Amino acid sequence: MSSPVIKLEGISHRYKQKNAPSLVIPAWQVESQQQVFLHGDSGSGKSTLLNLLSGVLTPTEGSIEVLGENLTKMSSAQRDQFRAQNIGVVFQTFNLIPYLSVLENIQLAVYFASKSQHQVIERAEHLLSNLHLDLNILKKPVSQLSIGQQQRVAIVRALINEPELLLVDEPTSALDASARDAFLNVLINTSKTNNTSMIFVSHDKAIEHYFSQSVEITALTEQQGV
Ligand code: ADP
Ligand code: MG
């Protein structure tokens, strides 16, 4: 029996400068190889939850297991290493370095030193073409890319280490509908082909049908006594 990809118990997260917790989740579990659409209003705690799952933030209370490992028992350095090795993260703002080329941005994320330069480029090219990006984009500085291209480069970077879990925070700057549909199709297909589980955060219910599961964040925060 495969263990869940995510298992939360008794989670509460309070930001330092706040009096009350910004996120409380009594319990939540995600089974492997699901593509989960996590939606909710602005300010409902979606980004906070993704940052807890990637180990960027630690909860004030409760335990977080990701891929069978307890993040809340790790040091911050161990969480960083675990993230680099196992989790692909696409931040709302992409966090690409604008003056570096696409390839340099991707290379910075490469975790396994055992991978040769050649293997990295081969995988990057494979992912880029899956995402319908021209290969000559690798040499371009990120600052010359459109938002849609940056979003796809951020996905390539997140997938370069073949992570078991992909966490995507939807960018606020909207793509037009047809570009977004193409992007979502490719993202879901890539995640299925690579057997990657995915949590995709958005406030936009119109894209719910792309995913194998849909969860409203209030459904997680409101459940009692589980
Ligand atoms: P969402 O991603 O759903 O829009 P967030 O997780 O960003 O929601 O925010 C949830 C709540 O936590 C909000 O009330 C927000 O003001 C608060 N919050 C988010 N980030 C911080 C932070 N760095 N410091 C203090 N409060 C924060
Ligand atoms: Mg957010």
Predicted model pTM? 0.92
- Report the C-alpha gap between 36 and 214 in whole angstroms: 6
Buried b / exposed e across 62-96, counting CB within 10 Å, b at 16+?
bebbbbeeebbebeeeebeebbbebbbbbbbebeb
Task: Please report which ligand is nearest the Cα atom of 14.
Answer: 1
Tell me: pLDDT of 13 over 60: yes
Where does residue 209 rank: exposed (0-12), middle (13-18), buried (19+ CB within 10 A)?
A: exposed
Please identify, by atom number, the ligand 1 atom nearest to the C-alpha of residue 169.
2
Task: Report whether residue 40 contacts ligand 1, using a CB cutoff of 6 Å.
Answer: yes
Tell me: pLDDT of 35 over 70: yes
Determine which residue's CA is closest to atom 26 belonging to ligand 1.
15
Residue 89 alpha carbon to ligand 2 centre in Å: 14
The strand order across the sheet containing 213-216 reads 87-90, 165-169, 197-202, 35-39, 213-216
Q: What pLDDT is attached to residue 173?
A: 62
Tell me: pLDDT of 172 over 80: no
Residue 113 alpha carbon to ligand 2 centre in Å: 33
Task: Report whether residue 48 contacts ligand 1, using a CB cutoff of 6 Å.
Answer: yes
Q: What pLDDT is attached to residue 117?
A: 85
What are 62-100's pLDDT values in tens digits? 999 999 999 999 999 999 999 999 999 998 888 999 999
Residue 93 alpha carbon to ligand 2 centre in Å: 10
- Average pLDDT for the chain: 90
Task: Report whether residue 22 contacts ligand 1, using a CB cutoff of 6 Å.
Answer: yes
- Report the C-alpha gap between 160 and 124 in whole angstroms: 7
What are 98-122's pLDDT values in tens digits? 999 999 999 999 987 667 888 899 9
Determine which residue's CA is closest to atom 14 belonging to ligand 1.
43
Contact between 143 and 98 under an 8 Å Cβ cutoff? The reply is yes
- Report the C-alpha gap between 59 and 74 in whole angstroms: 12
Task: Report whether residue 18 contacts ligand 1, using a CB cutoff of 6 Å.
Answer: yes
Higher pLDDT, 156 or 173: 156
CATH pick for 6-222 out of 3.20.20.140, 3.40.605.10, 3.30.70.270, 3.40.50.300: 3.40.50.300
What are 37-68's pLDDT values in tens digits? 999 998 999 999 999 999 999 999 999 999 99
Determine which residue's CA is closest to atom 27 belonging to ligand 1.
15
Determine which residue's CA is closest to atom 23 belonging to ligand 1.
15
